[in-house]
Amino acid sequence: MSLTVFLALCVLGLDFMIYVLVQWTYGDKRRALARQLAAHENALKEQSPRPVLVTHKRPLLDHKSHWHAGTTSQQT
């Protein structure tokens, strides 16, 4: 009975030491990454939608007739 209690305490002690080791090595990095990810996701949610570009459906004009409307061009 005492051997079972001793082994149970040893296993719990090892689990605690592994937990502390993992938190010591990865704890701050994981929290910082999680915070940055959450801030990025919140910024994307709060960002207003992008404006929509609406184009006209009229045909394109010749650049000569558009720029020189009403004038005659003389070519030699």
The rounded distance, in Å, linking the Cα atoms of 42 and 34 is 12
- DSSP summary character for residue 58: S
Q: What is the structure's pLDDT at 34?
A: 80
Per-10-residue mean pLDDT of the chain, 76 residues long, equals: 95 96 82 81 73 72 55 55
Does a structural domain hold residue 30? yes
Q: Give the pTM.
A: 0.41
Answer yes or no: is 35 within a domain.
Answer: yes
- The answer as to whether 32 is a domain residue is yes
Query: How many domains are contained in the chain?
Result: 1
- Taking the C-alpha atoms of residue 11 and residue 4, their distance in angstroms, rounded to an integer, is 11
* C-beta of residue 47 within 8 angstroms of C-beta of residue 56: no
Residue 8 is assigned to a structural domain of this protein: yes
- Residue 65's CB is within 10 A of a number of other CB atoms, namely 11
What is the span of the domain harbouring residue 1? 1-46
Is residue 70, in this structure, part of any structural domain at all? no
* pLDDT computed for residue 15 by the predictor: 97
